[in-house]
Amino acid sequence: MKNRIVALMLVVGVLAPATAEAVEQPAVSLPRMSERRKYQLGAKFIERLAWCETHGNWTDRGNWAGGLGIARSTWIAFGGRQFASTPDRASKEHQIVVANRIALWGFTRRDGRFVFPVGLSGWGALPCAVPVRIVPRRIPSSLAFSAHETGDPYAGTGTG
């Protein structure tokens, strides 16, 4: 019984702020999961987020690289190696594709496992970049999705 109470306290502590001074995150309403592939992050929002993350330096290096400050492990998980080995070596357009995969679209890996999108909560600079604008998708399907949806995105890239 005592272990159940401790576990319940841990879950409650994760779900609810411990104090009234907890940092408030901006409310961001993303489309339902089934609708997300029809949309992408708006260009103005992406530019604000890049400014807040790296002052718009799309070749920024570090643990969180590229203009949008994408962690290398996240870059790999969402198929960034389709474009370059690290975010700072990818073009701005390719970094934006991976950011959309992270936030809205998800990604199907070579082994067939789907990596679900995680929304925008991973970007620490989000409060600086709001309001979030999501617009109808204009990125070509050949860049937006992955293996089972549009063919093998790794073919001919020499990375991965």
Q: Is the pLDDT of residue 12 over 50?
A: no
Tokens representing 102? 């992270």
Strands (E), the chain: 39-41, 64-65, 70-71, 107-108, 114-115, 134-136
At residue 28, the pLDDT reads: 60
Each residue's pLDDT tens digit, 67-78: 999 999 999 999
CB 66 within 8 A of CB 80: no
**Which domains can be identified in the chain, with CATH numbers?**
36-148 (1.10.530.10)
Q: Is the pLDDT of residue 22 over 50?
A: no
At residue 27, the pLDDT reads: 56
Tokens representing 5? 């109470």
At residue 140, the pLDDT reads: 65
Q: What is the mean pLDDT of residues 34-40?
A: 77
Lowest mean pLDDT among 10-19, 63-72, 81-90: 10-19
Each residue's pLDDT tens digit, 111-148: 888 899 999 888 888 899 888 888 887 766 666 655 43
The label of the residue with tokens 């937006």 reads: 144
Residue that wins the pLDDT comparison between 87 and 22: 87
